[in-house]
Amino acid sequence: MKKLNINVIALAVSLAFSTGVMAQSMSKKDYKADKEKIATEYKSAKEGCASLSGNANDICVAEAKGKEKVAIAELDASYKPSVKTRYQARVAKAEADYAVANERCDDLAGNARDVCVKEAKAAKTTAKADAKAQMKTSDANVTANEKSAEAHSKANTQATEARKDATADKIDAEYAVAKEKCDTFSGTAKDNCLSQAKTRFGK
């Protein structure tokens, strides 16, 4: 099994919808036109999956849905740029990547599939934790820019806490993957594996 990289999922979700790089002063007319274009491309991509069967079809459909959701989230972020819409676009990407990765795991069996699923979840957790930390940091900095030096200090504290939370979420996700991998062993070997995992992730 080709191991999923927890920090950067190299999936075939190209996300090449027609939204592209749009000006932040997008008109409502342009927004509607681009949204219709995304819907058309999603329909075409889904129809292209019809020639496939079984899990290949499931993966194809998941990719098409993921591309549509990410394209819409990125379009919204371009139409109404804000910390929140940029965060939502990153979350949409994490969810889309996870959906495809999870479908790909169905091609595997037994512990290999279990590990694959845990790694896909860990990758999603990592991406969402990073997005949340970035959103909190941006929010804190915006507040700080509007207020005094005291606000800057508070912003730094909030940013540090956000990064700590993100790190904790990522460690928990990676620990879950390590534990799942221990299931390939039994007896003393499994106990040693679990012990090493606990030590490595401070559990």
> Is residue 159 in a domain?
yes
E-assigned strand segments in the chain: none
Residue 22 has pLDDT above 80, yes or no: no
Within-domain flag for 51: yes
How much of the chain, in percent, has pLDDT values that exceed 70?
82
Residue 18 lies in a domain: no
pTM score: 0.61
| DSSP 8-state symbol, 173 | H
- Mark 17-45 as b/e (b = at least 16 C-beta within 10 Å): bebeebeeebeeeebeebbeebeebbeeb
**82 vs 160, residue with greater confidence:** 82
Confidence of residue 73 (pLDDT cuts 50, 70, 90): very high
Please state the rounded mean pLDDT for residues 83-102.
94
User: What pLDDT sits at residue 16?
Assistant: 36
What's residue 166's pLDDT? 79
Encoding tokens for residue 103?
């479908």
Distances from the Cα of 130 to the Cα of 135, 170, 176, angstroms: 9, 9, 18
Residue bearing the bigger pLDDT, 73 or 148: 73
What's the chain's average pLDDT? 83
| pLDDT at site 142 | 67
Residue 22 in domain? no
pLDDT given at position 14: 37
16 in a domain, yes or no?
no
Residue 41: is its pLDDT beyond 60?
yes
**How many Cα atoms occupy the beta-carbon half-sphere of 112 within 13 Å?**
9
Between 140 and 2, whose confidence is greater?
140
Q: Residues 116-127: what's their mean pLDDT?
A: 93
- In sequence order, what DSSP letters do the residues of 40-90 get, joined into one string? HHHHHHHHHGGG--HHHHHHHHHHHHHHHHHHHHHHHHHHS-SHHHHHHHH
Average pLDDT, stretch 180-203?
89
Asked whether residue 188 carries a pLDDT value surpassing 60, the answer given is yes
| Structural domain boundaries enclosing 84 | 28-201
- What is the Cα–Cα distance from 157 to 1, expressed in whole angstroms? 42
State residue 13's pLDDT score.
35
In a domain, 119, yes or no: yes
4 versus 131: which is more confidently predicted? Answer: 131
Task: Give the DSSP letter of residue 108.
Answer: S
Check: CB of residue 26 under 8 Å from CB of residue 5: no
Residue 54, Cβ neighbours under 10 Å: how many?
A: 9
- Is residue 2 in some structural domain? no
Distance CA 194, CA 201 (A): 11
Looking at residues 32-50, what average pLDDT do you find? 95
pLDDT at 91 over 90: yes
Residue 145 in domain: yes
What's residue 182's pLDDT?
Answer: 93
pLDDT at 140 over 80: no
Q: How many domains does the chain have?
A: 1
Asked whether the predicted pLDDT for residue 96 surpasses 60, the reply is: yes
